[in-house]
Chains A and B, each alone.
Chain A
């Protein structure tokens, strides 16, 4: 029997009815159309489905949609400011941090959660924070570099805003 799910996704409130056995990733992709969130290994092992739920990065394939009731979800679609990419997105492009791109949405969401918590992570801290994310194109080094670059961009943005 369907139940009501009220939550906020990428800043927009939603009030929908879903079957209890629906996963959060299914609602995000199939009900709301946020297909940037990838549904991949389905066994909690790859983190391609990572989204930010109430400020914490989680696996949307391993949470029932109804468990997000009353919460706020951020997916890759919620990062850009209009046509201007988020600094982490731009850093991933500029550092060649992906090839096929399938794992990238999840990687970027985890990077965002990391940088929100720790604005200047070391290489090792990035490795630990990202260790659940699989990239089959073996782009791990570039991903790490992109995140360090993104950290610098975010710092610069912050000091610029502070100067204003």
Chain B
């Protein structure tokens, strides 16, 4: 039979601990973890990755869960599939932006097998979940044999396909805090066809004060327009403490488009992507605002 990917030794650990032990036994360069593998297998077919050892964690059902705690917020196990998040009544009710984002992640086929943890750990700057998690002020839990640590989602991806995850760690949980009152969140990705990679994506969270007049907090996350998903902090400052108008959202869009560092590629030029950011921040911002008013 023709080999489409290079040969490797294959391990199926039964527990997280067993997976971590295996990880610590092998060097980073020769060993990869596979969850759903919806991105990894493509890179292996292209021989961009030729691991000697493959640790398959897809079957670790301990990391497949969606839990809601009123105090601590939403907790999603790293091996929860995109489809499970899309269809979860708990998420649709309290964190609808996550479910809406998942509806547009690739195809049903990919969402049925691919996991949110795998997607985030892959570190693709044009991935969909990361900007939403950044807008939602999520934290990522990583586990190693020596313990656990958490990082803000915005600090996780460092560069193209590079993350803060150490080789001896697994990304194990995504933690989304309960939304403050009067908060609206919206995400939109601009792509050539439904389910395609983002040419640019924008997530906006807006929290209004008690009277629902001025903006007490704003988070603006951008995807696919820098080496990693990013926060447009200067654009956030344009909104904070102000009564949000369409003009102000347009100004925030302008500022965000200057904060982004997109590069020209086969899909669009740098200028076009900056323009997308400008328009999307205004549009998505106004939808987030409408949601905050209704919340």
Contact B113–A58 (Cβ < 8 Å): yes
Q: Specify which of B3, B54, B108 lies most central, judged by the most chain A CB atoms within 10 Å of its CB.
A: B108
Question: Please, how many angstroms separate the alpha-carbon atoms of A62 and B4 in the complex?
Answer: 11
Contact A62–B113 (Cβ < 8 Å): yes
Contact B109–A110 (Cβ < 8 Å): yes
Contact B195–A132 (Cβ < 8 Å): yes
Residues on B with C-beta less than 8 A from A147 are none
Contact A59–B108 (Cβ < 8 Å): no
Q: Is A81 an interface residue (CB 8 A)?
A: no
Residues on B with C-beta less than 8 A from A53 are 113
Give how many A residues have a beta carbon under 8 Å from the other chain's beta carbons.
34
Can you offer 23 A-B residue contacts whose CB atoms are under 8 A?
A19-B3, A20-B7, A20-B9, A21-B6, A26-B2, A30-B1, A44-B42, A44-B106, A44-B110, A47-B109, A53-B113, A56-B83, A56-B113, A57-B109, A59-B110, A62-B38, A63-B113, A69-B12, A114-B108, A128-B108, A131-B193, A131-B194, A132-B107
Within 8 A of B (CB), among A51-84: 53, 56-59, 62-64, 66-67, 69
Contact A58–B10 (Cβ < 8 Å): no
Question: Please, how many angstroms separate the alpha-carbon atoms of A7 and B37 in the complex?
Answer: 20
B36-79 interface bits toward A, Cβ cutoff 8 Å, 1 = contact, 0 = none: 01100110010000000010101000000000000000000000
Contact A66–B113 (Cβ < 8 Å): no
Contact B107–A1 (Cβ < 8 Å): no
Contact A42–B4 (Cβ < 8 Å): yes
Residues in chain B within 8 A of chain A (CB atoms):
1-10, 12, 34, 37-38, 41-42, 45, 54, 56, 58, 83, 103, 106-110, 112-113, 193-195
A-B contact count (CB 8 A): 92
Residues on B with C-beta less than 8 A from A114 are 108
Q: Is A3 an interface residue (CB 8 A)?
A: yes
Residues on A with C-beta less than 8 A from B8 are 20-21
CB distance from B101 to the nearest CB of A (A): 14
Q: Is A22 an interface residue (CB 8 A)?
A: yes
Contact B10–A20 (Cβ < 8 Å): yes
Q: Contacting B113 at CB < 8 Å: which of A31, A59, A69, A110? A: A59
Contact B45–A43 (Cβ < 8 Å): yes
Contact B54–A20 (Cβ < 8 Å): yes
Interface of chain A, main secondary structure: mixed
Contact B3–A21 (Cβ < 8 Å): yes
Question: Please, how many angstroms separate the alpha-carbon atoms of A14 and B190 in the complex?
Answer: 44
Question: Please, how many angstroms separate the alpha-carbon atoms of A44 and B287 in the complex?
Answer: 33
Question: Please, how many angstroms separate the alpha-carbon atoms of A47 and B107 in the complex?
Answer: 9
Question: Please, how many angstroms separate the alpha-carbon atoms of A146 and B195 in the complex?
Answer: 23
Question: Please, how many angstroms separate the alpha-carbon atoms of A131 and B106 in the complex?
Answer: 9
CB distance from A1 to the nearest CB of B (A): 7
Question: Please, how many angstroms separate the alpha-carbon atoms of A87 and B293 in the complex?
Answer: 48
Known: A67-B56, A110-B109, A132-B106. A1 touches B42 (CB 8 A): no
Contact A26–B4 (Cβ < 8 Å): yes
Within 8 A of B (CB), among A108-138: 110, 113-114, 128-129, 131-133
Question: Please, how many angstroms separate the alpha-carbon atoms of A21 and B44 in the complex?
Answer: 10
Contact B194–A42 (Cβ < 8 Å): no
CB distance from A123 to the nearest CB of B (A): 14
Q: Is A8 an interface residue (CB 8 A)?
A: no
Question: Please, how many angstroms separate the alpha-carbon atoms of A128 and B195 in the complex?
Answer: 9
Contact A26–B1 (Cβ < 8 Å): yes
CB distance from B103 to the nearest CB of A (A): 7
Known: A43-B45, A57-B112, A132-B109. A62 touches B7 (CB 8 A): no
Q: Give the 10 A-B residue pairs with the shortest CB-CB distance, closest first.
A: A132-B107, A20-B10, A56-B112, A59-B109, A58-B113, A21-B5, A62-B41, A131-B194, A131-B195, A21-B7
Chain A residue with minimal CB distance to B5? A21
Contact B10–A66 (Cβ < 8 Å): yes
Residues on B with C-beta less than 8 A from A66 are 10, 12, 56
